[in-house]
Structure formats: structure tokens, C-alpha cells
Chains A and B, each alone.
Chain A
């Protein structure tokens, strides 16, 4: 009779009832499986001890701490969540910089209706130290941020479905790098938008709480609204033989911003003057020209090396995360941003990017 799989044997240790009668019956008469089971038990017990936490938490004290955190108006809008540990993705600086991006697209005066004021044309890494990422103010302290759309990624069956759902042409990888093979999984995300309404009161409060003096808000800024839209997007991911995602090729409709209300230079300059934004970053951002549509990509300068390269006739930004043996290349062409990232070196990632069809 066929031996039960390792997975079945492992479950037998924890949940005998979850294993079929036939498998259990097999086991009683099979010294080989019993031997395997004994090894598994030893391993599981040893690891359980090695991982076991010490002591038990004080739930009441922890609840008081959480209640305090949810009661602070400046904090509720952006729960600290995983963000503290993933600076580049989650920190408020991303918000601040994103707003600045939007606003640097300015150039047009006020309009009564939504007016496109920014369309991503290229990407530019903005180097920040990790400490800066933690120190920067959160935009939600300066007004209301409302996000609409579902930020979730859905897995779809194949390339055709991915293209149909996203409306984007899926980049086709000509040659997979060495060590990567098989079929990718396909994921699709729908459009999402964010609206930021500036509030002078909130901004003043936030500044006061931080012990800073806010520069006086220009006339007309209170209540001004900026709306940003991004997506839909599509991604294909390959796993290495070890099951780790080894290569991701993604494409999305690049961020575009619209506004109603005050002139953009006004909002931009004010945001850039907010306390907390390091001078050099502010200077860097303010040089992004109005018509360039440059999307700044905040990266921790102490961890990521950046360079540029040409992909398909367009300038691309190349990021290397040496400590994680990861690289990424990202570029924008006609309002569509494409990224190739993976546990590969820079040359391999670039070669995939340049070989996309």
C-alpha cells in the first residue's frame, strides 16, 4: 500500500481526526512510517520549545494602550500598523512626498472643475535616510484623506484574464533569468483614488502638538482639494524552486492628479515649507518641474543604491538593495508605469526589462 505523504503524517501528530481512516490504519502496520512519524514528533517538539514565548501578556494594560492610540486624532487616520518596520512603503513621508509629487505637476491656475494637473511621465528616486522617513509629518494631520477603490490584488487564472480585467497589455518576458522557470501567477488590481482636502485648523493643531510653528497658510488654501488616481494594474510573479517570489513584472496606469481650487504652486510651496521635511528633500522636490510629471520614489539612501539606464528608449530608474540581493527597475512610458523586480542582480533585472515584449 502507498505510504501517506509527509503532510498527512505531520497532521496526524496535531490533528489525528483530520487524517483518513485508511492512512491511520496503514500506519499501525508500517514501521517505516512510524519511524518517520517519530522523527517528525522530535523535530516538532524541539521547535515548539525553541519558539515558545515566555510569560503571558497583560491584556488590560495592552487594551489601555491601544485605546489611547485610537483616541489620538492625529494618529487614527494613519494607524502605525506594519509601517514602523517598512519605512519606504509605509511611512508618512510617502504621503508627504506623494502630495508633493502631485503638486509639482502644477502650472495651471485655479479651475472650477477637476482639472488634470499632473500625469506621471518619469520616475526619480528621492534619497532619504531612514531617520528622515520616520520623522516626517503625515499628510492626514493636515487635512482629510479619503481613499476610494479597492486596494486589493486579485489572482486571476491566466494572462488573458489579467489583460481583460486590467485593460492593460501584459508585458511578455522573452527570456527568464537563470534559476527561474515555470508559469507565473497573475494578479490584477483595480483603480484607486485618493482625495486630500487641506484643513488649516488641523494643520495648525498638528504643528502645535509637535511643538512647531506652522508657516501661515496662503489665502484660499483652506478647503482646497487634490485628487489622485492610479491603476488599474497587473502583475505576474514567478517563484523560484524554493517557493520564494523570484521575479515580479508589473504594469499599472501611472498616477495622475486633478485639482479644484487654489493654484498649485501655492499648495506645493506651502507643503514643502511644513516643518519636518528635510531641507534637502524639499529642495529636491521643488526642482521637479511642473511639466515634467516626475514621480519621486522615496528610497532609504542608506539601503538602496540608485542609477539610471535606458529601457525601450525611455530613461528607467534602477534600484539595488544589496543587503537583500534584490534589484528593481522602473520606468514610465505614455502614462503607464512598468516595474521589474526580483531576487536578482541589477544586470539580470535590466536584461529582463529590456527584453520585455
Chain B
């Protein structure tokens, strides 16, 4: 039953979970569960699932892909997130923010756990780098992409999520609502994250 899942998350916070680092993620985990517990029958899927899915799936994959760098993995994350959403009672108006935050957290947990599978996609990414023609891609090498993600995993969780949400196209107001920040502090949070990641990139670049 779900007892330990709920009671444990509340009572013991970070207790049993590698990945549930302290209050934020534990709190998030419980928050994310909220919808799931309010279902009345196990098989019920919310009626607006398909509409929301078709509208927001690319966004959710984009959020997870920015964290993970792998579209295959990002699509797996998106499936999980929508499955949760399908059983939740999250108000339709909050769906976009909820889905984005859930995708970011799930992807960050996966990134952090280091259990990244070697996928076909990563091989094809190598191949793509070899023949890449896009200027931005040529500048940003695969190595840099890898480093930026390592650094992303080490950022304070709120900064990492704010950064990814913003770069995935959510507005400042949306990021603020989704992360329970004041709209004024979104810019500060995003800027801090960018500054830290850029420093990381430059540090490596200059040491090469």
C-alpha cells in the first residue's frame, strides 16, 4: 500500500530515498502524489488527458531532454509524468506548470542517479557531431553538453528547475507560479544558475 510512500515521505523526509535530497524533493514528491491519491477508482483516467497530452507533450519532452540530453530518455520521463497526471486531480489551468516541474524533477533525479543507459541515441549523437553543420552545434561540442549537465545536476534544485523551465519556454509568471517563487525572483534565480553553469563551462574550456 501507499502508506510508507506517503507517511514516509512526510515523516522521514529524505530518509529512505537516494534522490530525495532533503525537503524540497521530498516535499515535491508528496506534492506530486497529491493528484494520485485523490482518485476514486484505480482505473479512472482524467477526461482531458488526451487534450493536455497533445498540447503539452512536446513541452514536457523538451524539459526532460534539456536535463538529460537524450530524447529517448526524455520521452520515457514524459510518459511517466503524463501517466501520473492522468490519475491526478491537478486543475487543468495548472497542468502546464505541474507537468513541467514534474518532468524537470524526474529528469534531474535520473540524471543525478547517474544511471544513464547507453542508448542508440548517444551513439547517433556522436555521429551527428561529426557531420554537424549548425553553427551553434559546432560551437557547443558534445563534451560541453555533457559537462553542462553534470553541473546542472549539482545546482541547487530550485535553480536547476527554474533554468530548465525558462529555457523550455515557460514565461516568468509561469515559472514563478510553478515553483512558488515571486515573479521578481525568477530572473535572479535563473541568472544565478546560468552564471554558475557558464563558469563551469569556462573553467573547463580554459583548462583544456
Contacts and interface: CB of A to CB of B under 8 A. Distances in A.
Interface of A: 5-11, 14-15, 18, 40, 43-44, 46-57, 59, 62-63, 65-66, 69-70, 73, 76-77, 79-90, 94-95, 97-99, 101-102, 139-140, 144-145, 147-153, 185, 187, 189, 192, 194, 196, 228, 230-231, 233, 235, 237, 242-248, 250-252, 254-255, 295, 297-300, 303-304, 319, 321, 323-324, 326, 328, 330, 337-339, 341-343
Contacts of A323: 18
Contacts of A338: 11
A61 to B, nearest CB: 9
A105 to B, nearest CB: 12
A296 B196 CA distance: 41
A243 to B, nearest CB: 4
A95 B80 contact: no
A101 to B, nearest CB: 8
Nearest to B113: A85
B105 A82 contact: yes
Interface residues of B, number: 103
In this complex, which of A79, A149, A295, A330 has the most chain B Cβ atoms within 10 angstroms of its Cβ? Answer: A79
Interface in B103-132: 105-106, 109-110, 113, 115, 125, 128
B83 A337 contact: no
B42 A145 contact: yes
A321 B14 CA distance: 10
23 contacts: A7-B188, A10-B194, A53-B61, A57-B58, A63-B57, A76-B43, A82-B81, A84-B80, A85-B113, A89-B5, A89-B20, A94-B5, A95-B5, A152-B31, A153-B10, A231-B7, A233-B10, A247-B22, A248-B26, A252-B10, A254-B7, A337-B12, A341-B15
A82 B11 contact: no
Contacts of B188: 5-7, 10
A147 B24 CA distance: 23
B22 A342 contact: yes
Contacts of A187: 23, 27
Interface in B82-108: 82-84, 86-87, 102, 105-106
B33 to A, nearest CB: 5
A85 B185 contact: no
Given A85-B19, A153-B30, A49 B66 contact: no
B13 A250 contact: yes
